[in-house]
Structures are given as structure tokens and as C-alpha cells.
Amino acid sequence: MRQTLVFLAITTFQVTQISVALAQNSSAFEQRMISEINRARENPPAYADWLQRVKQTYDPATKSLFFILS
């Protein structure tokens, strides 16, 4: 049991270190993507409502969205 806990603690620390390293080396686009994914995960119903509003502003002719981020 103790060995398992030590293993989990070390593994968690290593994963955290890797995550921090990846975050520091991510491009601006990747950072925005991660931020957007986290935003969706924090409050899925609100994010879905926001997407519905954004979808209504899509212009297929120009493939553009006209909205203000909230």
C-alpha cells in the first residue's frame, strides 16, 4: 500500500512537471485552444448557449464569425 502511494505521488509530480513544461513551450494558438477547452469544461450548459449565439452570426459566404467574446 505504501509503495503504491509513493508511486502515485511520484507519478503525479512527474505529470505535473511535464504539463508545466508543455504549457511553457506551447504556442499562443495552443494556449488559446487550452483556454477555450477549459472554458467549455467549467460550465458546459453556458458554453453551449454561447455557441448557439455565436453560430447565429456565422457568415458562410466569408466563413466569418461576427461576435464579441464574452
Q: How many angstroms separate the most distant Cα atoms in the chain? A: 62
Please give the span between the terminal C-alpha atoms of the chain, in angstroms, as a whole number: 48
pTM, 2 dp: 0.49
> What pLDDT, on a 0 to 100 scale, did the predictor assign at position 21?
67
pLDDT, one tens digit per residue, over 2-61 is 555 554 555 555 556 666 666 677 788 888 888 889 999 999 999 999 888 888 887 778
> What pLDDT, on a 0 to 100 scale, did the predictor assign at position 28?
83
